[in-house]
């Protein structure tokens, strides 16, 4: 840490004590005295520079940087400018803002090229910046890779989801088509069975009618045959009439014989045998 000129003796005396003892109370007292002094002369760069150093010592880097930047506005000495840029570079290093640290160390060297301490800090800042950039690049690559993997996984998931949806839709359509085909087949089979039954019924009716007609024809033919010519073992009507006539004649002859026999018996003497 580089100190400025001792402009405010009391504040600087407290500042020196703080550097040795690091007392919070002494820090507050010195900070208050520097602020009161700057109220009287706000453009006094040495006071802002020392107040910046005081805040830097207490690791209040944000307030330290503000004080250094105020000191820059009213400083013309190259040596003082080199000291201020050097200390701003230190603040940047603590905040891991390596790119800004490189730039401020570079400005310090432009104002004091022979400062070996600043040259070492400058080299170290460039090294840390390179490491940071490489790490950032690696992180970006990993992030890009992770994003690509996430995208691939998402695309794969979406593809599988679309495939599942398509398969489900195809199965639904297939089931619908199969059901339609089955209903159509059942309807056709039902129609075919009905037609077959109707045809069978018609055929049965036709066969029945044919049989009835045949039976009628057979009966008619039988009656005609009987009238026309008796079958084997049967008598014709004329033969029956002749037979009846013959029977009648035979009966008459028999009656006559009986009458004659009765008449003869009346003239004879009846002879009784003994029954004892």
Domain harbouring 106, CATH code: 1.25.40.10
Q: What pLDDT shows up at residue 208?
A: 66
Supply 103's token pair.
């730039």
Question: Mean pLDDT, to the nearest integer, of 177-184?
Answer: 73
> Residue 65 falls within a domain, yes or no?
yes
> Residue 171 falls within a domain, yes or no?
no
Q: What pLDDT shows up at residue 106?
A: 97
Flag whether pLDDT at 196 surpasses 70.
Answer: no
pLDDT (tens digit, 9 = 90+) per residue, 203-233? 666 666 666 666 655 555 555 444 445 555 5
Q: What pLDDT shows up at residue 273?
A: 42
Residue 272 pLDDT class (50, 70, 90 cuts):
very low
Alpha helices in 41-115 (DSSP H): 45-57, 61-73, 78-94, 98-111
The answer to whether the predicted template modeling score (pTM) of the entire model surpasses 0.75 is no
Q: What's the CA gap between 4 and 44, in Å, rounded? A: 11
> Residue 118 falls within a domain, yes or no?
yes
Q: What pLDDT shows up at residue 118?
A: 96
- Structural domain range at position 105: 9-128
Lowest mean pLDDT among 66-70, 261-265, 270-274: 270-274
Domains identified in the chain, total number: 1
Q: What's the CA gap between 3 and 84, in Å, rounded? A: 10
pLDDT (tens digit, 9 = 90+) per residue, 121-155? 999 999 999 999 999 999 999 988 888 888 888 88
Question: What is the number of alpha carbons within 13 Å of residue 196 lying toward its C-beta?
Answer: 6
Q: What pLDDT shows up at residue 271?
A: 40
> Residue 220 falls within a domain, yes or no?
no
DSSP letter (8 states) at residue 8: S
> Residue 246 falls within a domain, yes or no?
no
Q: What pLDDT shows up at residue 89?
A: 96
**pLDDT above 90 covers what percent of the chain?**
31
Lowest mean pLDDT among 21-30, 47-56, 139-148, 157-166: 21-30
> Residue 214 falls within a domain, yes or no?
no
Which has more pLDDT, 160 or 86? 86
Q: What pLDDT shows up at residue 201?
A: 65
> Residue 97 falls within a domain, yes or no?
yes
Q: What pLDDT shows up at residue 206?
A: 65
Of 45, 116, 51, the C-alpha closest to 77 is 45
> Residue 144 falls within a domain, yes or no?
no
């Amino acid at each position: 840490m580089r100190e400025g000129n001792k402009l405010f003796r009391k504040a600087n005396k407290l500042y020196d004590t703080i550097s040795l003892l690091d007392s919070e109370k002494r820090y507050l007292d010195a900070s208050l005295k520097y602020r009161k002094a700057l109220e009287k002369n706000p453009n006094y760069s040495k006071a802002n520079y020392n107040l910046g150093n005081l805040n830097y010592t207490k690791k209040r880097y944000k307030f330290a940087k503000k004080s250094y930047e105020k000191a820059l506005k009213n400083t013309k000495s190259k040596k003082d400018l080199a000291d201020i840029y050097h200390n701003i570079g230190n603040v940047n290093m603590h905040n891991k803002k390596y790119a800004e640290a490189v730039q401020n160390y570079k400005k310090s060297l432009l104002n004091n090229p022979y400062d070996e301490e600043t040259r070492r800090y400058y080299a170290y800042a460039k090294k840390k910046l390179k490491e940071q950039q490489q790490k950032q690049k690696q992180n970006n690559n990993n992030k890009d890779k992770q994003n690509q993997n996430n995208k691939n996984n998402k695309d794969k998931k979406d593809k599988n989801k679309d495939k599942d949806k398509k398969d489900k839709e195809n199965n639904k359509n297939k089931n619908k088509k199969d059901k339609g085909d089955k209903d159509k087949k059942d309807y056709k089979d039902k129609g075919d069975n009905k037609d077959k039954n109707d045809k069978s019924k018609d055929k049965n009716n036709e066969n029945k009618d044919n049989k009835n007609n045949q039976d009628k024809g057979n009966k008619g033919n039988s009656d005609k045959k009987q009238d026309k010519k008796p079958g084997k073992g049967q008598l014709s009507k004329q033969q029956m009439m002749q037979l009846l006539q013959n029977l009648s004649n035979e009966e008459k002859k028999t009656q006559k014989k009986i009458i004659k026999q009765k008449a003869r018996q009346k003239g004879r003497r009846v002879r009784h045998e003994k029954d004892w």
